Amino acid sequence: MKKNKRRQSCAPRCPYCGSHSILKSAEGIYKNNSRDTMLYVCKNYPVCDSYVRVHPGTKIPMGTMANGELRRLRHEAHKYFNQLYESGYMTKDDAYRWLAAILYAPQNQAHIGLLGEYYCKVVIEESKKLLSRQTVHFITGVSMPIFT
């Protein structure tokens, strides 16, 4: 009998204080938990503000545990990265190949949820550079940058 290749992950340790994390509902942490999101939360929360979401219906973290600043940077990195393919500048597959290249990582490890602060800032800046080159052609035929 084949074993499921997606292993159920054990609770990660907090990278900030070293404590164990606890799998719990995002209720009380998220303003709206209408999707019944589950999180690994640092045992010392809220003193240590570190947590990570899990894939729905599993115990598998969607990345690494992050404090407020890193979560903010990951959110911003996703915002700009997603625009690369949502705007039609490149396909989603091409965007992930590009991400792997700027991270010097294999494509299966090129995920913003795994990044630290430094690489989040790299993704934000490099995404902005690419997006600033994208142009839109108006009826007049004039090309203008749509991102600054």
- Model pLDDT for residues 61-112, shown as the tens digit of each residue: 999 999 999 999 999 999 999 999 999 999 999 999 999 999 999 999 999 9
The CB density around residue 112, as the number of other CB atoms within 10 Å, is 20
Contacts of 73 (CB under 8 A, 6+ apart): 117, 120, 121, 124
Q: What SS3 state is found at 56?
A: coil
Q: Is 54 exposed, middle or buried (0-12, 13-18, 19+ CB in 10 A)?
A: middle
- Model pLDDT for residues 8-58, shown as the tens digit of each residue: 557 899 999 999 999 999 999 998 888 899 999 999 999 999 999 999 999
pTM of the model: 0.81
